[in-house]
């Protein structure tokens, strides 16, 4: 029994030995195959490793530079923050200065507007006064209308709407002045000049009136020398003019009356103009042939000139705008004075 037990396990051991050898051979073959497969690539791997090491070193240098740049940028950012803070403070101070400047400019603008309005009102009042005086002294409606229009333009520049009523009054006065239809002095002067040109061509009357007889109670000395020398007073009347014996002198007298009428027309002296025209007509009737067509035409023209209204009376509304303007200015000045007093009391 012992021999059988001792021989029984020896058989599997012998069978396992070839299996172990086979496994070893397979392992050796696999190792050889692996060596054969990977052995040629070791040089490439070394090169790749060296390249990777170089790249890693380059990356390390790049990272170092990046860190240095980052530190520089951070320093610059810190400097920028400091500069921004200082700039912000400067902007705040500039904003305050700009606000102060705007307030000052606003105050100056208010003062300028107030001064501008006062100047425009002064100009308008002066022009209205000049227009009224112009018509009162010379009855010059066109010049008065021109002054009123300039005053209206000056009031148009005033921002206060309260003065719009004054402009309405000015418009009413301009309409009233246009409705007067006063004669134009220049046209009258031209008509009188044409008459003066016709005087030398007028036909002489058939007989001039005889000289005035000497007074019956005159002394012998007066009668003696009265035949040679006559002394009389020319009162400017038609009776004195009828004593003119020389036709050339009569023409000169008519021309002088027409010149006086021209001067009165330019001065807008209605009474003087009518008197001069009447004297010229009387002298023409006495010294020239009234039946002649040319003399009749001159007399007709003189009659037409006598009907001319050179200086019509001033319209009732003249001066209304000036009174309204002065009243409004006085009211505004009083209101401004009260507001200034209240402001001073509020400050105290």
Cβ contact 281:258 at 8 Å? no
CB atoms within 10 A of CB 274: 17
Structure confidence at residue 36 (pLDDT): 64
* Residue 170 banded pLDDT, cuts 50, 70, 90: very high
The angle subtended at Cα 207 by Cα 204 and Cα 209, nearest 5°, is 115
* Residue 224 banded pLDDT, cuts 50, 70, 90: low
Determine the Cα–Cα distance for residues 341 and 345; give it in Å rounded to an integer. Answer: 6
Range list of β-strands (E), 2-138: none
Cβ contact 283:153 at 8 Å? no
Q: Where are the domains of the chain?
A: 102-180+316-347, 185-306
SS3 for 204? strand
Of the chain, the percentage scoring pLDDT greater than 90 comes to 30
Cβ contact 308:188 at 8 Å? yes
- In this structure, what are the phi and psi dihedrals at residue 160, rounded to the nearest 5 degrees? -75, 125
* Residue 267 banded pLDDT, cuts 50, 70, 90: confident
Segment 115-130, tens digit of pLDDT? 778 888 999 999 999 9
To which residue do tokens 């009243």 refer? 327
Segment 295-322, tens digit of pLDDT? 999 999 999 999 888 888 888 899 999 9
């Amino acid at each position: 029994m012992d021999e059988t037990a001792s021989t029984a396990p020896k058989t599997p051991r012998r069978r396992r030995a070839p299996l172990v050898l086979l496994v070893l051979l397979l392992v050796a073959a696999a190792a050889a195959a692996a060596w054969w497969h990977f052995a040629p690539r070791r040089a490439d791997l070394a090169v790749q490793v060296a390249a990777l090491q170089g790249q890693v070193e380059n990356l390390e240098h790049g990272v170092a530079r990046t860190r240095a740049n980052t530190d520089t940028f951070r320093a610059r950012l810190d400097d920028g923050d400091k500069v921004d803070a200082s700039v912000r403070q400067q902007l705040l101070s500039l904003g305050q200065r700009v606000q102060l400047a705007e307030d000052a400019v606003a105050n100056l603008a208010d003062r300028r507007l107030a001064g501008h309005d006062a100047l425009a009102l002064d100009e308008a009042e002066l022009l209205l006064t000049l227009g009224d005086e112009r018509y009162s002294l010379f009855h010059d409606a066109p010049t008065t209308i021109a002054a009123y229009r300039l005053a209206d333009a000056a009031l148009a520049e005033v921002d206060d709407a309260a003065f719009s009523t004054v402009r309405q009054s000015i418009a009413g006065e301009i309409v009233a002045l246009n409705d007067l239809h006063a004669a134009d002095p220049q046209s009258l002067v031209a008509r009188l000049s044409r008459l003066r040109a016709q005087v030398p061509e007028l036909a002489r009357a058939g007989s001039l009136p005889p000289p005035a007889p000497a007074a019956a109670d005159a002394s012998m000395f007066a009668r003696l020398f009265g035949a040679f020398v006559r002394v009389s007073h020319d009162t400017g009347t038609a009776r004195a003019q009828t004593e003119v014996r020389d036709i050339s002198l009569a023409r000169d007298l008519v021309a002088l009356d027409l010149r006086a009428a021209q001067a009165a027309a330019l001065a807008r002296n209605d009474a003087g103009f009518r008197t001069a025209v009447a004297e010229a007509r009387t002298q023409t009737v006495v010294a020239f042939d009234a039946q002649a067509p040319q003399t009749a035409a001159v007399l007709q023209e003189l009659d037409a000139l006598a009907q001319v209204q050179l200086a019509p009376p001033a319209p009732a509304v003249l001066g209304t705008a000036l009174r309204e303007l002065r009243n409004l200015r006085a009211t505004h000045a009083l209101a401004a004075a009260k507001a200034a007093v209240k402001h001073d009391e509020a400050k105290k």
